[in-house]
Structure 1
Amino acid sequence: MEGIISRRVIPSDNSCLFNAVGYVMDHDKTKAPELRKVIAATVASDPGKYSEAFLGKTNEGYCAWILDSEKWGGAIELSILADYYGREIAAYDIQTTRCDLYGQDRKYAERVMLIYDGLHYDALVLSPFEGAPEEFDQTIFSVHNDRTVGPVEGIALNFVRDQQRKRRFTDTANFTLRCGACQIGLKGQKEAVEHAQATGHVNFQEYR
C-alpha cells in the first residue's frame, strides 16, 4: 500500500455528511440534494421500519425535514446510504477516536471512510503523496475476509488519533456558540438545539 491518509475538506453548508458521502462514493461534492431524496424515498417506502419511535419524528415529517438543505444528517442517514451504495461507511469520530461502521451486517465487499469533528463531516482518502490533486484520491477500499480493509485501517486510525492530539474537533457538550440572529451566548449542543427549537434560529457561530 503506497500513500498517505488525507482529510478532504467538505464545505460547511449543513449538507457536509451528504457531500462527504458523495465524494467518497462518486468523487462528487455536490450530491447532497440527490442523496437527501434517496433517503426520503427509502424512509417513505418502509413506514414499518422507519417508525416515529425509530426516527423521533413521524415518517412523513422526517421525509420533509431531511429534504431541507439546512438540516444535518447523522447515523440514520449513514446507514441508509451504506445500503444505497452497497458499501460499508466507516465514520471516525476525532474526539473519541471511535469508528462507527455502517452496513457491516450486510457483508459488503467495499468500504469508504469519513471523519467527524463533532459538528462536521469530511472525507478520508488515500492520497499518493502530500499535496497530490484530488483526482488521485483513492476513496473505496476492499474489505478482506477478516472484515478489515488491511493496513489502511491502522493508518486511518493513526491519522484520526493525530487529529485528536491536535484538538481538531469541537467538544459539543462544552463548546460556546453565539446565535447569529439574536447574538445570545449558548453553551453546548443541547442549549443550541433548545434555542433553535424555541426561536427557529439556526445560524450559530462558535466563539472562544
Structure 2
Amino acid sequence: MDGIIVRRVIPSDNSCLFNAVGYVMDHDKNKAPELRQVIAATVASDPVKYSEAFLGKPNEEYFSWIQDSEKWGVVLTWLLLFYSEGAIELSILADYYGREIAAYDIQTTRCDLYGQEKKYSERVMLIYDGLHYDALAMSPFEGAPEEFDQTIFAVRKDRTIGPAEGLAHNFVKEQQRKRSYTDTANFTLRCGVCQIGVIGQKEAVEHAQATGHANFQEYR
C-alpha cells in the first residue's frame, strides 16, 4: 500500500497506551478494559518473572492497579520510571498479539521495538510524546478516512517493514522539529495530594518515593 504516515489521535483518558494498541492491532480504540485484563492475567500467572523488583510494586498490587481505568497517564509515567514508560505492558501485548510493536519517542526520535526477539512476521507502530501514546498508520492520502488505514506491516527478511519504516522515521523527525512533545525533564508538575510543585521527572520521582504520593498533574 502506497501512501503517507499519519498520526491517529487516541483520547487522553488514562488508557491511551491500551487504546492505541487496540487501534493498530484491531482498528478498535476501545480495547483498554480487555487489554488491561490481559496484562493483569499475564503478570499474575508468573509472579517469579513479574516480581516486585521487576514491576516496581508487589505483584498483587500491580494486578489490581493495572485494571483500574484511572491508572495510567502521568501517574504511570512518574511511578514506573525504573523502566521505559509502558515497556512491560508493550512487551506483554506484543506477545499476546504475536506482532512486533514499534514505539517511537518524539523527543529523542528513538524507536523501541518490542517482541523483536521472537522474530514475529508483522509489526505495528505507536508514537509517544513524553506523556501520551497515539497510533501510527499508513493512509492512502491526507484526510483519508480511518477505515482506509493500514496499521499492520509485514516484517521482511532484513527485519524492516520496507518503505513504511523510513516514512515513519521521517514523520517522527518532523514531529520533533515541531516540538510536538512534552519535555519531561523540565516541565512543571503539581502533586495532586499535597499540592507541592516539582520540576521534571527527577523531582517527581523523589517526591513520590518520599511521600508515597503518585498523583501528579501538569501545570504551567
Q: Which digits, 9 at most, give the CA deviation of each residue in 1:42-72, with x for residues without a partner?
A: 0111112111221122211111111121222
- Counterpart residue type for residue 141 of structure 1: F
Larger CA deviation: 126-135 vs 198-207: 198-207
Is the CA contact 1:179–1:205 (under 8 Å) kept in the aligned structure 2? no
Question: Relative CO higher for 1 or 2, CA cutoff 8 Å, sep ≥ 6?
Answer: 2
1:95 corresponding residue in structure 2: 107
**Shift in Å, 1:185:** 3.1
Q: Which digits, 9 at most, give the CA deviation of each residue in 1:142-170, with x for residues without a partner?
A: 00011100010000000000000000011
1:54 corresponding residue in structure 2: 54
Is the CA contact 2:189–2:216 (under 8 Å) kept in the aligned structure 1? no
Is the CA contact 1:93–1:115 (under 8 Å) kept in the aligned structure 2? yes
* In 1, Cα distance between equivalents of 2:190 and 2:51: 34
Q: 1:191 to 1:14 in 2, by over 3 A?
A: farther
Q: Residues 106-117 of structure 1: matches in 2 within 5 Å? A: 106-117=118-129
What is the total number of aligned residue pairs between the two structures? Answer: 207
* In 2, Cα distance between equivalents of 1:45 and 1:152: 36
Task: List gaps (5 residues or longer) in structure 1.
Answer: none
TM-score by length of 1: 0.92
1:147 corresponding residue in structure 2: 159
Q: Report the RMSD for the aligned CA atoms in angstroms.
A: 1.8
Q: 1:196 to 1:44 in 2, by over 3 A?
A: same
Q: Residues 109-128 of structure 1: matches in 2 within 5 Å? A: 109-128=121-140
Larger CA deviation: 169-178 vs 123-132: 169-178
TM-score by length of 2: 0.88
SS of structure 1 residue aligned to 2:150: coil
1:42 corresponding residue in structure 2: 42
- Counterpart residue type for residue 97 of structure 1: T
- Counterpart residue type for residue 24 of structure 1: V
1:9 corresponding residue in structure 2: 9
* In 1, Cα distance between equivalents of 2:112 and 2:38: 22
Identity of aligned residues (%): 81
Is the CA contact 1:180–1:205 (under 8 Å) kept in the aligned structure 2? no
* In 2, Cα distance between equivalents of 1:52 and 1:199: 16
Larger CA deviation: 69-78 vs 130-139: 69-78
Q: 1:80 aligned to 2:92? A: yes
Q: 2:215 aligns with which of 198, 202, 208?
A: 202
Is the CA contact 1:91–1:99 (under 8 Å) kept in the aligned structure 2? yes
Q: Which digits, 9 at most, give the CA deviation of each residue in 1:145-198, with x for residues without a partner?
A: 111000100000000000000000111011123456665432112333455563
2:81 corresponding residue in structure 1: none
2:80 corresponding residue in structure 1: none
